[in-house]
Amino acid sequence: MKVDLKQKTTVITGGASGIGRQIAYSFAENGSDIAIIDIDKDSGRKAAGDISEKYEADAVFSHCDITDFDKVQSSCREIVKRFAKVDNIVLAAGYGSRVSLEEMELSEWKRSVDININGPFNVVRSLIENMLESGGGNIIFIGSATYYTGSGGGVHYSTTKVAQYGMMKELAYEYLSRGIRANIITPHIIDTPMLRKRYPDTPENNKKLAARLPIGRFGKPEDIASAALFLASDDSGYICGTEIVADGGGVHYKH
């Protein structure tokens, strides 16, 4: 998908790998400067370096644990100092594991809440004033179809992803009249490192995953990046407070 994001700056959490990294590449390809926030130092630096070399975009990496509000504020101050304004926030960082309720340790629950709920809050809270002062922008959450299907993660994962949906709705309600649109993309079975932890890349697993979807294939990070590009573009200017379900038909339709 081609859109014009020149003279825009996009902050992406979880941009070091998976869906977040592909969104960073796709936004840079369409002209946006990129700031990646991630805890994975090596992969984050590599992603930012790749973007700077390949695209006509400025890219920086900020090594930061998004669960730590003070560190997030410091990271965001440096990003604003570098780029002056932030036009798009993409909240792609996430944590999930397949653990049943009776086996779940409290630490696992708290980690999911910290990364999937507190993390987005910390980032948006740290950047919202700059976004308002700059005339508005877009906040894009990367949710999960698990809050429809109940599969793909434990109760900690689905609960925190539902919370992201609620956060998006409230942000849209509060800030739309002030120029900020908030939306959420809901992926289902996307080929990412998180998926491959549960389903290693084998012909048998790939066939099994594809068979679960009416479209006949599982998703790619590029599928989600295209949806994010649309939401960041002027073409989606009348779309706010809603979701794009990118699921290959797997949520609402069955064979």
Residue 236 backbone dihedrals phi, psi, to 5 degrees: -105, 20
Q: Which domains does the chain have, with CATH numbers?
A: 9-190+220-245 (3.40.50.720)
55 is an active site residue? no
Q: What is the pLDDT of residue 255?
A: 43
**What pLDDT tens digit does each residue of the chain (255 aa) get?**
789 999 999 999 999 999 999 999 999 999 999 999 999 999 999 999 999 999 999 999 999 999 999 999 999 999 999 999 999 999 999 998 888 888 889 999 999 999 999 999 999 999 999 999 999 999 999 999 888 887 767 899 999 999 999 999 999 999 999 999 999 999 988 887 777 777 787 887 878 777 777 888 888 999 999 999 999 999 999 999 999 998 888 777 654
Strand-pair partners of 139: 89, 182
Catalytic residue among 95, 147, 148, 157: 157
Q: What is the pLDDT of residue 254?
A: 56
pTM, two decimal places: 0.93
Q: Which residue has the tokens 């919370």?
A: 163
Q: Which of 133, 125, 138 is nearest to 89 (CA)?
A: 138
Host H or E run for residue 63: strand 59-63
DSSP-H helix ranges across the chain: 18-29, 41-54, 69-83, 106-113, 119-133, 146-149, 155-175, 193-198, 203-211, 221-232
Sign of the CA dihedral 225, 151, 141, 165? positive
